[in-house]
Amino acid sequence: MGFLRVAIDVPLPRLFDYRCEAASREDIGLRVVVPFGKKKIVGVIIDVVPSSDLPQEKLRAAERVLRDMPRLSREWLALAQFCSAYYQRPLGEVIHAALPPRLRSAKPVPAPVQEVECVFALTEAGDTARATLPARNRTRRALLERLAAGPAAESELAPPAAQRRRLIREFIASGWVRELPRMRQKPGFVAAHNLTGEQKRAVAAIRQCANFRVFLLHGITGSGKTEVYLHVIAATLGAGRQALVMVPEIALTPALEAAVRSRFPGARVILQHSAMPGAERARGFLDAQSGDADIVLGTRLAVFVPLPRLGLLVIDEEQDPSFKQQEGLRYSARDVGIMRARECGVPVVLSSATPSLETWHHAAIDRYTLLPLSRRAPHGAELPPVRLIDANVHAPRDGIAEPLQQAIAERLARGEQTLLFLNRRGYAPVLACAQCGWVSGCPRCSTRLVVHLKDRQLRCHHCGHAAPIARSCPDCGNLDLAPIGRGTQRLETTLTERFPAARILRMDKDTAGARGKLEGLFRRIESGEADILVGTQILAKGHHFERMTLVGVVNADAGLFSANYRAPERMFQQLEQVAGRAGRAGLPGEVLIQTRFPEHPLYQALVRHDYEGYARILLDERRQAGFPPFLFEAALRAEAASTDSAIRFLRDAAALAPASDDAVILFDPAPMTLERIAGMSRAQLLVQSASRTRLQTFLTAWSAALYAGRFARVRWHIDVDPTDF
């Protein structure tokens, strides 16, 4: 008898032993159904051992080993074990998060999608039958006559699909037709654009790399970074290897998928993101695991897709905070991707116009190889000039200053497109009473309810709480409640009033929630069916609109005063990215930013398109203040019914921390910036160290002590390399 050591999704940092009569080490990596408490759940076999440390009579038997999919490879399990150790999460939780939802259950594995058509040929017996079939069997005779002319794919045969398949099965059973071995078309590559000199040098540098290396492909917006990595992917496929490309948002996948499919005819392209149907996502995961996929495109979860022939990993817009998971297993897909590439011995390309400061610092000290693209790729295209509209001089009226309104009118007259960027959806951020000072606060969060005028609702964008718009002030009864500030809905209303003949399209989470709707909106933009776009960060990066010549930033100053030390970096990245949507083809572009602080160094750097200069300023500030990338951080976070309870837990947890010789610094517990979400109060304790190794050693010991403790009515987790506070 063997014993299975199983990883299951429970908040305990250990494996669980089960009896299994026919277990062997060949079962490592397979899924298994096991009893746990009163439930039956699916886990993954991590090891098979001849004996257990527990008495045999206390061990329960595994119900059944699921053999309907190939076992997860040792390399894949090693990646999961790395994430478990580094991010201080139980292995079962990591594996559960890494698998598609369908594969976390005992439901049947989806059948493979047959992308290679069956080809049929006539046999000698079939040729004889063709000559003897009665004339009244016209359909049968026609099908055999077609095959007599030569082998044909199923779609080339005349009868309707259902009848065609029935006849083919009948002919095969009679020995008249045989199925030829299926031959997949070798992936091709369409070189649609001539590369610039800088692009050629970047492609050559990556292609010459035969082992692990991190390349930072740093190019200004419109410089053709995508074209570079498409050429490198072509070389990867030509060598019989697989490529993995990750983007930060689902909104970026439709355009990238269309480009990849058109440029790589014959290649098997697989998508992986959370909005996919469960069966389709699971099938793609399995096709990649079997080696049938050539290119995998996806969001951060794609970093866990098994690829036995991995030859290249690309992380596009690597600076985007969306690559960091903020719930459950709090991993950075960028960092896990780099680690995976290192273990596989393959190059990884980080692509960005505005790299994260950590990545830029690594390139500056030659840990990463910098590949610059300093000019826009389309002939004649230049970076758009950035002009600052001083809101102290040109006061915005309903959110739009006169110079911006005039610029929009000029584009409308020329038949060009305008993008107005406002990273706040809804009609207004808050509903308020001027008489008593009441504001529409969320009853479950320490934030405001946002006015959604179209639906006549107040909504919390953090917990989802919704309520009807109040007719009167709940505190004083005043009927004159007013929306304060503006979101994309209100800006859309203003533009409709100012430009009644313009075709205005709003793109935010409310209008583009479903993938099909999002693709439809992009088609309308590309076909010229929209004159003015009002959008959030959905439109800020990765899109190429040839007739867009004006970008207006309506409420830029909101990001200047955040308590998060990463806020200036993110704000510059976002504004530089959205500015890059203008003038990407032959038409000259322009960017107008409304601000009350035109002399701020961030805005002055934007005017110069000076990422490198502003990055130096921010890195100097980080060095002096003692922030990453010059040291390493983790945060112990707690959620409880009250802030006092959360703080009390953190103080008790600090007392359990292992002794440290000042190599690791623990700060005092403090409430989080957004203190309350969904009825739970949140607090954190920050940990810093100049040594990643010492920090990890400390966290491992501390985590073990915390798991061994008994803490009632509090939820806690450790966030390694936190990005939000």
CATH code, domain with 641: 3.30.70.600
Our count of domains for the chain comes to 5
Q: Are residues 396 and 518 in the same domain?
A: yes
In this predicted structure, the answer to whether residue 45 has a pLDDT above a threshold of 80 is yes
User: What single-letter DSSP state applies at residue 220?
Assistant: -
Does residue 477 fall inside a structural domain?
Answer: no
Give the Cβ contact number of residue 407 at 10 Å. 21
Does residue 442 fall inside a structural domain?
Answer: no
Phi and psi at residue 400, in whole multiples of 5°? -125, 120
What per-residue confidence (pLDDT) applies to 616? Answer: 96
The CATH number for 12's domain is 3.40.1440.60
Residue 259 burial (10 A CB sphere; 0-12, 13-18, 19+): middle
Q: Are residues 206 and 337 in the same domain?
A: yes
Q: Are residues 420 and 533 in the same domain?
A: yes
User: 3-class DSSP state for residue 228?
Assistant: helix
Are the C-beta atoms of residues 84 and 136 closer than 8 Å to each other? Answer: no
pLDDT band at residue 585, thresholds of 50, 70 and 90?
A: confident
Q: Are residues 309 and 397 in the same domain?
A: no
Does residue 80 fall inside a structural domain?
Answer: no
In this predicted structure, the answer to whether residue 161 has a pLDDT above a threshold of 80 is no
Listed range (94-98, 134-138, 418-422) with the worst mean pLDDT: 134-138
CA 584/CA 607 separation, integer angstroms: 17
Range of 435-449, 527-541, 558-572 with top mean pLDDT: 435-449
In this predicted structure, the answer to whether residue 407 has a pLDDT above a threshold of 90 is yes
Higher model confidence: residue 520 or residue 303? 303
Mean pLDDT of the chain: 91
Q: Are residues 208 and 326 in the same domain?
A: yes
What per-residue confidence (pLDDT) applies to 165? Answer: 77
Are the C-beta atoms of residues 271 and 284 closer than 8 Å to each other? Answer: yes
Are the C-beta atoms of residues 302 and 274 closer than 8 Å to each other? Answer: no
What per-residue confidence (pLDDT) applies to 182? Answer: 65
Listed range (206-215, 232-241, 555-564, 589-598) with the worst mean pLDDT: 555-564
What per-residue confidence (pLDDT) applies to 78? Answer: 97
Q: Are residues 223 and 297 in the same domain?
A: yes
Does residue 686 fall inside a structural domain?
Answer: yes
| 351, 373, 395 - which closes a domain | 373
CA 131/CA 58 separation, integer angstroms: 73
Q: Are residues 166 and 292 in the same domain?
A: no
User: 3-class DSSP state for residue 397?
Assistant: strand
Q: Are residues 393 and 527 in the same domain?
A: yes
Q: Are residues 580 and 604 in the same domain?
A: yes
At 434-487, the pLDDT tens digits run: 999 999 999 999 999 999 988 899 999 999 999 999 889 999 999 999 999 889
In this predicted structure, the answer to whether residue 427 has a pLDDT above a threshold of 70 is yes
Q: Could you tell me which residues are beta bridge partners of residue 637? A: 684, 717
* Beta-strand runs (E) in 50-179: 64-66, 119-122, 152-153, 177-179
Q: Are residues 343 and 395 in the same domain?
A: no
Q: Can you give the residue range of the structural domain that contains 34? A: 2-75
Q: Residues of 270-303 as b/e, b for ≥16 C-beta within 10 angstroms?
A: bbbbeebeebbbbbbbbbbbeebbbbbbbbbbbb
Does residue 480 fall inside a structural domain?
Answer: no
Higher model confidence: residue 299 or residue 514? 299
CA 86/CA 331 separation, integer angstroms: 9
User: What single-letter DSSP state applies at residue 54?
Assistant: S
Does residue 89 fall inside a structural domain?
Answer: no
Q: Are residues 348 and 268 in the same domain?
A: yes
| 579, 596, 618 - which closes a domain | 618
pLDDT band at residue 117, thresholds of 50, 70 and 90?
A: low
The structure tokens listed for 95 are 């594996």
| 594, 618, 642 - which closes a domain | 618
> Which has the closest alpha carbon to 582: 553, 532, 556, 547?
547
Please give the biggest Cα pair distance in the chain: 96
Does residue 393 fall inside a structural domain?
Answer: yes
Q: Are residues 172 and 220 in the same domain?
A: no
Does residue 186 fall inside a structural domain?
Answer: no
The CATH number for 282's domain is 3.40.50.300
In this predicted structure, the answer to whether residue 534 has a pLDDT above a threshold of 90 is yes
Looking up tokens 């160290």, which residue turns up? 689
